Amino acid sequence: MSHHGSRNDECWCKSGKKYKKCHWEQDEKLAELARKGIEIPPRRLIRRPEQIEGVRKASRLTAQILDMVQERIHVGVTTEEIDQWVYDMTLANGGYPADLNYEGFPKSCCTSINQVICHGIPDQTKLKAGDIINVDITCELNGYYGDASRMFVMEGATEEARNLVAVTKECLDLGIQQVKPFNRIGDIAFAVEQHALKHGYSVVREFGGHGICDKMHDEPFVHHYGPRDRGMVLVPGMIITIEPMVNAGDFHLKILPDGWTVVTRDGSLSAQWEHTILVTEDGYEVLTVTE
């Protein structure tokens, strides 16, 4: 009754190895999980080495651009200037800013200040003393995508704002530490939310991370709240983003009339950090780093 083909045939992953010496054991384990009703990845989400290398290069460029922003950003610059920096450096390196014209988004990155949760549109707004801002960048390079965001804290920010930014970074790091074969998206979500709750914060529910490779947004959806036993099982070769959005107040949000800008409903501050992560044989590799 084998629909996998023979164990002596070449593996479906095109490694050139025999199936029994390659993905057979993992497929047996996944089939057993599927029988228990657990969501398993379709084979196309288990990325081949050349795909992983493509995402690694796009992710490295993304991190380099964020490093550039980090060096230049200061009180008085407009978010449109930041956008121009991102556009110029992406093109200078042979890439394309994937946000630009994505479903009609008019700019090359998202700039989300203070109570803006995500998808803020760069404009003439000048950064002020005390602001916190998230800059979110997705680079396309040779058909592959890398996606990351960081927070930048302007001089004069309150202790409260600085604490939110620091705890949100800890939430991301704790989420990343849950990435290993046969953990589930829910393990990431649980680690993220428990840490936020411990500090009196809440985690945004309507938006989350995603699979990424030769599409900017792919399966699975990576939620950041709720119990452990939810979501797709992680297996080596999957690539996802983890990008918790943490609010100082409650998790409710609203979308402004521009159709993009997402803000906290209660006007509280919000922070977000993001990396693109590869699931490896024994854990994870953060791809949106410069080396």
- CB-nearer residue toward Zn ion: 11 or 63: 11
Closest distance of CB 142 from Zn ion, Å: 24
* Per-position b or e across 120-144, b if 16+ CB within 10 A of its CB: bbbeebebeeebbbbbbbbbbbeeb
- Specify the DSSP element, H or E, that contains 139: strand 132-141
- CB-nearer residue toward Zn ion: 23 or 195: 23
Closest distance of CB 131 from Zn ion, Å: 49
Q: Which residue has the tokens 């379709």?
A: 42
Closest distance of CB 59 from Zn ion, Å: 24
The answer to the question of residue 33 lying near Zn ion (CB under 5 A) is no
The answer to the question of residue 15 lying near Zn ion (CB under 5 A) is yes
Q: Which 122-181 positions form the footprint of Zn ion (CB under 5 A)?
A: none
Amino acid at the residue 180: K
Stretch that binds Zn ion, among 11-19, 30-38, 82-90, 134-142 (CB under 5 A): 11-19
- CB-nearer residue toward Zn ion: 15 or 163: 15
Read out DSSP for 173-236?
HHHHTT-STT-BHHHHHHHHHHHHHHTT-EE-SS--EEE-SSSSSEEEEE--SS-SS-SPBP-T
The answer to the question of residue 22 lying near Zn ion (CB under 5 A) is yes
- CB-nearer residue toward Zn ion: 22 or 118: 22
Eight-class DSSP state of 127: P
Closest distance of CB 15 from Zn ion, Å: 5
Distance CA 198, CA 162 (A): 16
Using left for φ > 0, alpha for ψ between -120 and 50, and beta otherwise, residue 44 falls in: alpha
HSE-CB at 270 with a 13 A cutoff on CA atoms is: 32
- CB-nearer residue toward Zn ion: 13 or 289: 13
Closest distance of CB 31 from Zn ion, Å: 15
The answer to the question of residue 26 lying near Zn ion (CB under 5 A) is no
The answer to the question of residue 210 lying near Zn ion (CB under 5 A) is no
**What is the torsional sign of CA 27, 32, 34, 40?**
negative
- CB-nearer residue toward Zn ion: 15 or 64: 15
Among 11, 52, 248, 263, binds Zn ion (CB under 5 A): 11
Distance CA 291, CA 287 (A): 9
- CB-nearer residue toward Zn ion: 27 or 218: 27
The answer to the question of residue 23 lying near Zn ion (CB under 5 A) is yes
Closest distance of CB 5 from Zn ion, Å: 12
Closest distance of CB 291 from Zn ion, Å: 29
Q: What is the dihedral of CA 216, 140, 49, 40, to 10 degrees?
A: 0
C-alpha radius of gyration, the chain, whole number: 20
- CB-nearer residue toward Zn ion: 23 or 57: 23
The answer to the question of residue 47 lying near Zn ion (CB under 5 A) is no
Distance CA 223, CA 244 (A): 8
Among 10, 13, 217, 228, binds Zn ion (CB under 5 A): 13
Distance CA 136, CA 207 (A): 14
Stretch that binds Zn ion, among 16-24, 56-64, 143-151, 281-289 (CB under 5 A): 16-24
Where on the chain is the footprint of Zn ion (CB under 5 A)? 11, 13, 15, 22-23
